[in-house]
Amino acid sequence: MAMEKRGLKDKKGVSAIVATLIIVLLVIVAAGIVWFVIKGIVQSGAEQVELGQKCLEIDLEYVSVTETTSAECGDDDAYSVTLRRASGGDEIEGVKVVLLNATDSSELQEFGVIGELETKTTTVCSDALNADKIQFTAYFEDSEGNPVYCQSNEREF
């Protein structure tokens, strides 16, 4: 009879250890799942901060916009747009340009890449007749290849 009681006590001790191990494993699995979710959010936020910092280092300047003629613009007005980039900052993916008047704006158009200390002139077509303003902005690409636009600059001409 003493043997039977002793065996029952051993089984109760083992079941408490097994239950504790199962709880510990569940806590570890739950922590892993939470870490996986938080890690994705933190990495995404870090990339946005990095791209924002890159934008602060880009210095694009308006040089001139003059009306011109171009066969590629068809019925739209053609403008010769000149922009300059100062020194500093990383390589950009490109610059987008919009020409505007008081009531209308043209489509967002690719201006092209401007390197450090480079001045570039490109013909831009505008369906906004008699445009008198230009908006231009540099952009980078995120890790998924999507454009991330920096703050837009606007100038009257």
* 89: CATH: 2.60.40
Do the beta carbons of residue 138 and residue 150 sit within 8 Å? yes
Residue 118, domain member (yes or no): yes
Residue 144, domain member (yes or no): yes
Residue 87, domain member (yes or no): yes
pLDDT at res. 1: 46
Residue 35, domain member (yes or no): no
The dihedral formed by the CA atoms of 43, 48, 52 and 54, expressed in degrees to the nearest 10: 60
CA distance 113 to 92: 7
- The number of domains in the chain is 1
Q: Which tens digit of pLDDT belongs to each residue from 90-125?
A: 899 999 999 999 888 888 899 999 999 999 999 998
The CA angle 91-95-99, to the nearest 5 degrees, is 165
CA distance 2 to 77: 104
CA distance 67 to 132: 10
Residue 134, domain member (yes or no): yes
Q: Which tens digit of pLDDT belongs to each residue from 8-54?
A: 555 666 788 888 999 999 999 999 999 988 887 877 777 777 777 88
Residue 27, domain member (yes or no): no
Residue 125, domain member (yes or no): yes
Tokens of 112: 């092209």
Residue 45, domain member (yes or no): no
Alpha helices in 1-156 (DSSP H): 2-56
> By residue range, what is the domain housing residue 67?
57-156
